[in-house]
Structure 1
Amino acid sequence: MAEVTSGHDDPISSRSRIIAAAARLTCADGWSKVTMGRLAQEAGVSRQTVYNAVGSREDLAEAMVLTESAQFIFTIVEGFEKHPEDLLPAIHEALENTLVLAEGNALLRAVVSATHGADTELLPLLTTHSESLLGTLMVVVQDRVDRYEIDLEPERITAVIDIVVRSVLSHVMQPTATPRETAASITWLVARVLGRTEELAAFRA
């Protein structure tokens, strides 16, 4: 059990520590076993500090989702930044790295298990914020894609981004192939849409 800190602990530090502790407990025992009292012990703070830092249990669930989402967004941005001159390798890098991150993300696996009856209380973590997460990812990807010269109408570009983001989220939740294979398949489809047929062979799964 972590040592309980004083009431003068930095609120930002306490919040981060509490969210991290909640994720650990969720991964270990399931969301239904995460109580505010147990969380306070795990994070080394008082119960009142938990409530002050994250609010209700529902607020805590939202904070965990947003924290994990930030990691995925950073990974997507990083993939594009590695290939500032060429969109297709940028897409492939962002997709593969995101899927690799999802594959090794223990909290995400715990959340996904809810859909198979392992912990039904965890299901709201997926459903309540799915639309806002989708919207955020759309904005992030659109911002990156707009930096490349693409011979398509803006509305067509937005439609392609929507399809790609939804497809990736589907594979994050229920992977059907390796991250590299999935990234290659999706990038291959984008190459077809962009008319870059000479590069298709490089992105065959």
Structure 2
Amino acid sequence: MAEATAGHDDDPISNRSRIIGAAVRLTCEHGWSKVTMGRLATEAGVSRQTVYNAVGSRDDLAEAMVLTESAQFVFRIVEAFDNHPDDLLPAIHEAVESTLRFAEGNALLRAVVSATHGADTELLPLLTTHSESLLGTVKVVVQDRVDRYEVTLPPERIAATIDIVVRTALSHVMQPTASPRETADSITWLVACVLGRTEELVVSRA
């Protein structure tokens, strides 16, 4: 466990990142109800006042944790599309698979999911508050990336397809029914059907 040092208190940006990281670890190991500002200060190696200066209240800290993890999901989606600027189907496949693989190893997500089964119910209102925000953010990001491809569909059909894909992918984050690759295969196939590119997809998988 870290010990508070004066040097650590000098860098507000580094402090905030370290404090949020420590909060994630404590939440996963002991539960959100056991995370106190004093314990967090010790874990992060800063003073208690530095914790309050960096993240505000305990509610602010919980929100920062959820938003930080959400940003990681969005980053992987953006990265996947950037890796395939000339072909939409591989971009979608990588975005779905990468996101689901990240979810598999996401300790905070596992802690939040456990809250839905009776533990640490304090986090549930926060998760509910931000779920629609995350959904909206992901849809906007995907729409922005899809607009860069030549898709011969009416805008309303594109928007509807994005909505279905995003909601389906996020549902598998919370309740996976197959491996990330298998789920990505299925979602990509659905998009290929909408685009009339199923034969091309079969050839590329052969």
TM-score range, shorter chain: over 0.9
Secondary structure at the aligned position of 1:127 is classed as helix
Q: 1:132 is matched with which residue?
A: 133
Q: 2:121 is matched with which residue?
A: 120
**How many residue pairs were aligned?**
204
Q: 2:5 is matched with which residue?
A: 5
Is it true that 1:49 corresponds to 2:50 in the alignment? yes
Q: 2:159 is matched with which residue?
A: 158
What one-letter code is carried by the residue in structure 2 that aligns with 1:168? A
**Where do 5+ consecutive residues of structure 2 fail to align?**
none
Identity level (%): 83
Measure the CA separation in 2 of the matches of 1:108 and 1:195: 36
* Cα distance, 1:203–1:155 mapped onto 2, change above 3 Å: farther
Measure the CA separation in 1 of the matches of 2:4 and 2:201: 57
Q: 1:144 is matched with which residue?
A: 145
Measure the CA separation in 1 of the matches of 2:184 and 2:203: 12
Q: Is the 8 A contact 1:188 1:203 kept in 2?
A: no
Q: 1:171 is matched with which residue?
A: 172
Q: 2:74 is matched with which residue?
A: 73
Where do residues 82-97 of structure 1 align in structure 2 (5 Å cutoff)? Answer: 82-97=83-98
Measure the CA separation in 1 of the matches of 2:145 and 2:198: 22
Measure the CA separation in 2 of the matches of 1:118 and 1:62: 18
Measure the CA separation in 1 of the matches of 2:80 and 2:203: 17
What one-letter code is carried by the residue in structure 2 that aligns with 1:67? T
Q: Normalised by the size of structure 1, how large is the TM-score?
A: 0.95
What one-letter code is carried by the residue in structure 2 that aligns with 1:195? G
Q: 1:98 is matched with which residue?
A: 99
Measure the CA separation in 2 of the matches of 1:123 and 1:202: 45
* Cα distance, 1:105–1:203 mapped onto 2, change above 3 Å: farther
Measure the CA separation in 2 of the matches of 1:39 and 1:124: 22
What one-letter code is carried by the residue in structure 1 that aligns with 2:181? R
1:154-192 residue CA offsets vs partner (Å, 9 max, x unmatched): 111111111111111110011111000111111111110
What root-mean-square deviation, in Å, do the aligned CA atoms of Structure 1 and Structure 2 show? 1.5
Q: Normalised by the size of structure 2, how large is the TM-score?
A: 0.94
Measure the CA separation in 2 of the matches of 1:100 and 1:33: 28
Measure the CA separation in 1 of the matches of 2:71 and 2:26: 20
* Cα distance, 1:41–1:142 mapped onto 2, change above 3 Å: same
Shift of 1:195: 1.1
Secondary structure at the aligned position of 1:120 is classed as coil
Secondary structure at the aligned position of 1:152 is classed as coil
Measure the CA separation in 1 of the matches of 2:76 and 2:150: 22
Structure 1 segments, 4+ long, off by >6 Å, are: none
* Cα distance, 1:161–1:202 mapped onto 2, change above 3 Å: farther
Shift of 1:79: 0.9
Q: Is the 8 A contact 1:184 1:203 kept in 2?
A: no
